[in-house]
Amino acid sequence: MANWKGPLEKIDDTRLRIPKSYNPKMRVDGIIYADASLLADIKQDQAPEQVANVATLPGIVGQSMAMPDIHWGYGFPIGGVAAFETGEGVVSPGGVGYDINCGVRLLRTKLTKADLKLALLEKLVKAMFNNVPSGVGSKGKIRISQTEVAQVLTHGARWAVEHGYGTDDDLEYTEEHGQMAGADLSGVSSRAFERGMPQLGTLGAGNHFLEIQEVAEVFDANAARDLGISLGQITVMIHTGSRGLGYQICDDNVKTLGAVSQKYGIELVDRQLACAPIESPEGRKYFGAMVCAANYAWANRQAIAHWVREAFAQVLGMTAEQLGMSQVYDVAHNIAKFEQHMVGKERVRLCVHRKGATRSFGPGDQATPARYRHLGQPVLIPGDMGTSSYLMLGTATAERDTFGSACHGAGRVWSRTRALRETEHRNVAQELRAKGIVVMAASKEVLREEVPDSYKDVDKVVDVCQRAGIARKVARMRPLGVVKG
């Protein structure tokens, strides 16, 4: 893919502007959060053009934005954030992505690095690998009928807890309590139901992972304490989404909404921006189906968290309660949501699309669990198998400048095809082992596709968010053991 040659005007050390004069069809400016160290990576594909394309959609307010982990996506860039007013604005499957509610869950433990000698770490990684089905097309241990799938799509993580997977405490520390309102089963095709039946409780492949981590650095001791985090502590991170069901819901709607856009006289500069007015029957139907997939993803991570706890209990001979395996938080990073935000001097109801972006609400917001409300919403930033992950907090600045959004990870710089080509003669598992990281994967190919070289430097991405004030660092976790699909 050719390098992007368009304008990127420097606003300050962490923001670049694509002026709306770049394309007469742009309704607002494009803003990319990045500094000079990330500029070359950002320009290497056409993701900035996608930022400009999103700015042409009806009803967009503020700016079309991208986080520092921006890279090429379907329609919207990955890392894209855009908000639309509910009168003339639109909802777009490309602004959510194919893996609806791909997200991250973080568990704390009472263990420290000193408790996990290499042999024990290897046993834990193997137990997680065996307990949680992973890989392309993997099928789960939960066998449910189409009727039960419908219940999952409506009740989300609540369904999982009621069926013995986890506790009410988990729901308290999950975005939307793991059950987003507005699910509409009428927008879910029979094929989506079929794909959802065998895959609940599965990790999948690609960049999804289970990771045993050590808290390697604490940036804010008071906030870390209130979040139950301390230096040297062992944490577990779960990164996955809505599996084949979410993919099918997106695919079905991308196909149908292309014609719908024409029906409502919406001119698309890119057919991948297929959309419908938010208040149209077709727009409401897609949104309701997207909610169903989001709820499935929360139930999926809930079941996986339960089996991760079981793996620790099996290996260590202690209960999950004795091990202190409680949940820090769970966040979505591919989702559209109706939220209230300030536009000028008015508080307005908007449909905020976050595609590869994490909600980052500041202190005091009622959507944040009461225990954390004085801090801000936890923001979880996963690394890329061999690099650090971060626990951050949302800010008032994010609410003002980015509709309460921050980055979601490092962001790819190599395609999976290029990663396979570049690593043809490398043993990625051995490379990670040399760094003290135990890894198990469903295939060697997925390790090569997800090699850390494939991603931007997550430390730089997080640093841009910190300096821009849209999230603040609390702790950095480094990987010790990884399960890849």
Residues classed as catalytic: 408
Structure tokens at 77: 């860039």
Helix 36-43 × helix 458-468 angle, to 10°: 120
Biggest alpha carbon distance in the chain? 65
For residue 444, what are its two tokens? 């060697």
Cα(340)–Cα(345) distance, rounded to whole angstroms? 13
Q: Which residues pair with 393 in a beta bridge?
A: 378, 472
* Number of neighbours of residue 426 by Cβ within 10 angstroms: 13
The three-class DSSP label of residue 71 is strand
Query: Do the strands 233-240 and 472-484 form a parallel or antiparallel pair, or are they unpaired?
Result: unpaired
Three-state SS at 251: helix
Q: What is the DSSP string of 112-174?
A: EGGG--HHHHHHHHHHHHHHS--STT---S----HHHHHHHHHHTHHHHHHTTSS-HHHHHTB
Integer-rounded Cα Rg, in Å, for the chain is 21
The DSSP bridge pattern shows strands 233-240 and 78-85 to be unpaired
Q: How far apart are CA 441 and CA 452, in angstroms?
A: 15
Distance CA 287, CA 396 (A): 27
Burial class (CB in 10 A: 0-12, 13-18, 19+), 265: exposed
The answer to whether 58 and 278 have CB atoms below 8 angstroms apart is no
Joined together, the tokens standing for residue 239 give 């990164």
Is 458 in contact with 410 (CB distance < 8 Å)? Answer: yes
Q: Are 362 and 395 in contact (CB under 8 A)?
A: yes
Handedness of CA 18, 20, 25, 28 (dihedral sign): positive
484 three-state secondary structure: strand
In 3-state terms, what secondary structure has residue 305?
Answer: helix
d(CA 10, CA 142): 51
For residues 127 and 22, what is the distance between their CA atoms, to the nearest angstrom?
54
